[in-house]
């Protein structure tokens, strides 16, 4: 299967700990997106990359959050000093650029974070 | 701020019933519209999309959606649902390369 993969699928951590998630996009997809989804809500945009460049960040992404895509392939999302409010599903998507925003984003299975 | 509204959070239907899920968006410019589906235990999958052209678009598994620009709507329809359509359905709009999402509609089909 050459879809978007995310690791780990589940992460339980204690408040104050740092966590890192990984996303491997579909090969040759040079756009990569991170979203967060809480129960009963649709996903919320966090950030996106075109190749290795981080082009947009949501105001939801506090200074405790950082995302990287160092070689333009896989990406990592790190949360420092986790808080209980960070508990959510973290989704990664990838796409090939289209004209006027006509990208179709393909999603991975997500990483479910629980902060105790 | 751009927003997407899905009118029903929960819908329960019997098999063979017709389905229509509402979606309205707030952005007045050119829009790209999507419906995604999430089956139980699975990840988000694209159901259908509209970029331009014929406002009636067909997707997978017999779903279709109609873009009505004057109503800022992109409602999802299926003439006859099956038990396997039980899932959560999300409407989304592209805005500056990010997707803006509705809160989702949980659809339960009774066999």
Q: Per-residue pLDDT tens for A30-58?
A: 999 999 999 889 999 999 999 999 998 98
pLDDT of residue B96: 76
Q: Round to whole Å and give the CA distance between B55 and B77.
A: 13
Q: Does residue B4 sit at the A interface (CB-CB below 8 Å)?
A: yes
Average pLDDT over residues A79-103: 91
Closest CA to B40 of B84, B96, B80, B92: B84
Q: How close, in Å, is residue A79 to chain B by CA atoms?
A: 21
Contacts of residue A105 in chain B, CB cutoff 8 Å? 99
pLDDT digits (tens, 9 = 90+) for A49-89: 999 999 989 887 889 999 999 988 999 999 999 999 999 99
Model confidence at A2, in pLDDT bands (50, 70, 90)? confident
Average pLDDT, chain B: 93
**Chain A interface disruption, residue of B43, B46, B96, most A CBs within 10 A:** B43
Phi-psi region for residue A74, left (φ > 0), alpha (ψ -120 to 50) or beta? beta
Please report the DSSP string for A32-50 in residue order: EEEEEE-TTS--EEEEEEE
Q: Closest to A109 (Cβ–Cβ): which among B30, B43, B96?
A: B43
Contacts of residue B42 in chain A, CB cutoff 8 Å? 109
Q: Closest to A107 (Cβ–Cβ): which among B43, B97, B98?
A: B43
Count of CB contacts below 8 A, A vs B? 58
Q: Is the pLDDT of residue A107 over 90?
A: yes
Q: How close, in Å, is residue A44 to chain B by CA atoms?
A: 7
**Chain A interface disruption, residue of B99, B100, B101, most A CBs within 10 A:** B99
Q: Does residue B77 sit at the A interface (CB-CB below 8 Å)?
A: no
If you measure CA to CA, which chain B residue comes closest to A9? Answer: B43
Average pLDDT over residues B44-71: 94
pLDDT of residue A62: 85
Average pLDDT over residues B16-22: 97
pLDDT of residue A72: 86
Model confidence at B91, in pLDDT bands (50, 70, 90)? very high
pLDDT of residue A1: 53
Contacts of residue B51 in chain A, CB cutoff 8 Å? 102
Token readout for B6 is 């899905």
Q: Round to whole Å and give the CA distance between A96 and A88.
A: 27
Q: Round to whole Å and give the CA distance between A57 and A66.
A: 10
Contacts of residue B104 in chain A, CB cutoff 8 Å? 40-42
Q: How close, in Å, is residue B100 to chain A by CA atoms?
A: 7
């Amino acid at each position: 299967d050459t879809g978007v993969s995310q690791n780990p699928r589940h992460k339980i951590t204690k408040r104050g700990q740092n966590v890192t998630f990984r996303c491997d996009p579909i090969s040759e997809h040079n756009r990569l997106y991170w979203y967060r989804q809480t129960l009963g809500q649709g996903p919320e945009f966090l950030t996106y990359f075109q190749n290795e460049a981080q082009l947009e960040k949501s105001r939801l992404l506090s200074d405790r959050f950082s995302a990287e895509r160092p070689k333009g392939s896989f990406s990592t999302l790190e949360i420092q000093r986790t808080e209980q409010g960070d508990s959510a599903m973290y989704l990664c998507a990838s796409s090939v650029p289209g004209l006027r925003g006509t990208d179709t984003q393909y999603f991975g299975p997500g990483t479910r974070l629980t902060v105790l | 701020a751009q927003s997407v509204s899905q009118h029903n959070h929960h819908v329960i239907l019997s098999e063979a019933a017709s389905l229509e899920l509402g979606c309205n968006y707030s952005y007045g410019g050119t829009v790209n519209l999507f419906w995604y589906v999430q089956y139980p235990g699975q990840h988000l999958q694209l159901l259908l999309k509209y970029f331009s052209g014929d406002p009636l678009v067909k997707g997978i598994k017999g779903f279709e959606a109609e873009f009505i620009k004057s109503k800022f709507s992109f409602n999802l329809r299926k003439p006859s649902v099956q038990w396997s359509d039980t899932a959560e359905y999300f409407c989304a709009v592209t805005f500056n390369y990010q997707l803006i999402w509705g809160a989702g509609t949980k659809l339960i089909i009774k066999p």
